[in-house]
Amino acid sequence: AGELPDNAVLLGCTMVAFDKRTGVDTTATVLASASATIVNTQARFRIQAGRPGHVYRVFGRADLSGDQPPLFTEALDMVIKKPLEN
């Protein structure tokens, strides 16, 4: 984690979330933003909602500087344990 190709800079990361059971795109509901916050070599995202006991699959596409191809994160399966509070 946090490793980029030589001379590459992380410019941005687009996140997506899907309902693992149905395959429905839940990005607008589950994630606070489809754009991750970039901190050095990390792309950080925030969960804003989700149904308790439901499984969501989250992953991202990181855009790099120069002629580097985008990087794709490994899928993260997330289970909401209790209702989220703001």
Would the pTM count as exceeding 0.85? no
User: Considering just the CA atoms, what is the radius of gyration of the chain in Å?
Assistant: 14
Read off φ and ψ for residue 39, nearest 5 degrees: -130, 105
In terms of C-beta density within 10 A (0-12 exposed, 13-18 middle, 19 or more buried), how is residue 34 classed? middle
Q: What's the half-sphere exposure (Cβ side, CA atoms, 13 Å) at 29? A: 8
Q: Mind listing the pLDDT tens digit for each residue in 9-27?
A: 899 999 999 999 999 999 9
Predicted local distance difference test score (pLDDT) of residue 24: 95
Question: Which of helix, strand or coil describes residue 28?
Answer: helix
| DSSP bridge partners of 62 | 13, 71
Q: Mind listing the pLDDT tens digit for each residue in 24-51?
A: 999 999 999 999 999 988 889 999 998 8
